[in-house]
Amino acid sequence: MYKPFLRVLRVHIDPQLKWTEHVAKIKADVQKVMNSFRRFSGSTWGASLHHMRRLYLTKVRPKITYACTAWFISAQHDRMRWEISRTLLDQLESLQYQCVVQISGALQKTSYEVLLKELYVEKITTVLQRLAVVERAQNLHSELEQLIAKQRPRSTKGTPKSSLAKHPYCWLKDDTTQFEQVCQNRLRALHNPDKFNAIWHNPKEKTLALKEYVKVMGEATSELAWDSYRQRRDKNKRQPPALRENWGPQSLALYAGLPRAHSTMLVHCRTGRIGLNAYLFTLNSKKSTISETDLCPCLEGKHTVEHLFAHCKNLKRQRFELAGRLGHTDLNTLLTRNADVATNWAIRYFGIPQFEWVRKDLLLTQPTELSFLLRSEG
Q: How far apart are CA 318 and CA 309, in angstroms?
A: 10
Query: What is the predicted pLDDT for the residue at 376?
Result: 46
Distance CA(331)–CA(347), nearest Å, equals 16
What pLDDT, on a 0 to 100 scale, did the predictor assign at position 157? 74
pLDDT of residue 375: 45
Q: Give pLDDT, residue 168.
A: 77
Torsion sign (Cα): 368, 373, 376, 378: negative
Give domain limits for the chain.
1-245, 274-283+291-377
Which pLDDT belongs to residue 118?
Answer: 97
Contact yes or no for 257/340 (Cβ under 8 A):
yes
How far apart, in whole angstroms, are the C-alpha atoms of residue 369 and residue 191?
56
CA distances from 337 to 41, 257, 269 (A): 26, 13, 14
Q: Is 42 helix (H, G, I), strand (E, B) or coil?
A: coil
Per-residue confidence in pLDDT tens, the chain, 378 aa: 556 878 888 888 888 888 899 999 999 999 999 999 999 999 999 999 999 999 999 999 999 999 988 888 875 655 566 778 889 999 999 999 999 999 999 999 999 999 999 999 999 999 999 999 998 888 888 888 888 878 777 777 777 777 776 777 777 888 888 889 999 999 999 999 999 999 999 989 999 999 999 999 999 999 999 999 999 887 667 788 899 899 999 999 999 999 999 999 999 999 999 999 999 998 876 555 677 889 999 999 999 999 999 999 999 999 999 998 898 889 999 999 999 999 999 999 999 999 999 999 888 777 665 444 444 444
What's residue 354's pLDDT? 95
Angle of helix 193-200 relative to helix 203-232, nearest 10 degrees, comes to: 90
Compute the C-alpha angle 17/23/24, nearest 5°.
Answer: 115
By the 10 Å C-beta count (0-12 exposed, 13-18 middle, 19+ buried), 91 is classed as middle
DSSP 180-232: HHHHHHHHHHHS-HHHHHHHHTSHHHHHHHHHHHHHHHHHHHHHHHHHHHHHH
DSSP assignment letter at 302: B
What integer pLDDT is reported at residue 14 of this predicted model? 86
Give CA–CA dist 29/38, Å, rounded.
15
Cβ-contact 266, 339 below 8 angstroms = yes
Q: Pick from 129, 149, 127, 111: which is nearest to 243 by CA? A: 111
